[in-house]
Amino acid sequence: LFDFKIILGKNGVPVAENFRLEQSTIADTIQAGQVRVRTLYLSVDPYMRCRMNEDTGSDYLLPWQLSEVADGGGVGVVEESKHGNLAKGDFVTSFSWPWQTVAILDGSLLQKLVPQLVNGRLSYFLGAAGITGLTALLGIKEKGHVSVGANQTMVVSGAAGACGSLAGQIGHLEGCSRVVGIAGTDEKCSILVQEMGFDAAINYKKGNVAEQLRELCPGGVDVYFDNVGGDISDTVISQMNKNSHIILCGQISQYNKDVPYPPPLPPDIEKIQKERNITRERFLVLNYMDKQEASILQLCQWIQEGKLKV
């Protein structure tokens, strides 16, 4: 089997030298309760940068260990089973799937998948019908305070990413009347508008973002789905309305810096946030796992109906 290992760092950008690929052997036999799986899909996500620090900045995320196999969201197929609920050929997933081609895992830590729910596209269980889709849907439901008919405008940063592209669509489905995305290329912006149903998109690398926001959100911003933090977020927050809401999903622009999470806002932006009573609460999707099953079924239904494009 091949496995993937990492070397830790705190400040700076990850480089190839932080990783290595090894070939090793796996036990011939499995114990009671275990299954042998073959890996089909792995999810590579921004939060993993935090796991390359000794202190991840979060009590729910453990750091990856030096010279140990990396892990994260994964999907695979059972090749041999000594677990009562899992049989050879079953498709399974886990949030702590090892980055190796074949693995022996505790069957009780795996979730059995129903391929029909995603029209056979198993990778969707790591994206639109998995933790990514849950983050978008539950973030909007729990922290966005979106209500049908309230004529709300939502802005999404990192809008062409896995989570942002879903968040914008879900914003519409949940009742926002206008959704504006922020992304980094003209091509991404055009996909957001033409394929994902965003009302408009801003290429933050071109022109004045504040001016474009004022033009595209004439009534101000009511909900901000924040994936990036930093200067972009400061610009959006300065145009948010009274009693509006920030969904603090991620702060990707800050992950290679040694700052606390969530990073503090600059004093002038923090003043705006307080004066306008803008909510900015940390959002962790893992705190809402009691709503996971119903939410995943909702996401799958939207995917099957063509209302949610992946």
Query: Which CATH number applies to 2-113: 3.90.1150.10, 3.90.180.10, 1.10.3720.10, 3.40.640.10?
Result: 3.90.180.10
pLDDT band at 224 (very low <50, low <70, confident <90, very high): very high
Instruction: Give pLDDT, residue 138.
Output: 95
More confident residue, 190 or 281: 190
Q: Mean of the per-residue pLDDT values for the chain?
A: 92
Task: List the chain domain ranges.
Answer: 2-113, 131-286
Tell me which of 172-176, 215-219, 278-282 is least confident: 278-282
> In 3D, which of 28, 25, 27, 5 has the Cα closest to residue 17?
5
In sequence order, what DSSP letters do the residues of 256-276 get, joined into one string? TS---SSPPPPHHHHHHHHHT
Mean pLDDT to the nearest integer, 27-45: 96
**Residue 276 to residue 278: CA distance in whole angstroms:** 6
Instruction: Give pLDDT, residue 259.
Output: 61
- Other C-beta atoms closer than 10 Å to the C-beta of 239 total 18
Do residues 154 and 146 touch, judged by C-beta distance below 8 A?
yes
pLDDT tens digits along 126-157: 999 998 999 999 999 999 999 999 999 999 99
pLDDT tens digits along 168-214: 999 999 999 999 999 999 999 999 999 999 999 999 999 899 999 99
pLDDT tens digits along 46-88: 888 888 888 877 777 888 998 899 999 999 999 999 999 999 9
Instruction: Give pLDDT, residue 90.
Output: 98
User: Which amino acid would we find at residue 145?
Assistant: H
Q: Which token pair is 59?
A: 């009590």
More confident residue, 13 or 35: 35
Residues of the chain with pLDDT > 70, as a percent, come to 94
pLDDT band at 256 (very low <50, low <70, confident <90, very high): low
pLDDT band at 264 (very low <50, low <70, confident <90, very high): confident
Instruction: Give pLDDT, residue 13.
Output: 84
Instruction: Give pLDDT, residue 232.
Output: 95
Whether residue 10 has pLDDT greater than 70: no
CATH code linked to domain 131-286: 3.40.50.720
- Other C-beta atoms closer than 10 Å to the C-beta of 31 total 9
pLDDT tens digits along 113-130: 999 999 999 999 999 999
More confident residue, 3 or 272: 272
**Residue 187 to residue 205: CA distance in whole angstroms:** 12
Residues of the chain with pLDDT > 90, as a percent, come to 77
Residue with tokens 């009534």: 219
Instruction: Give pLDDT, residue 49.
Output: 85
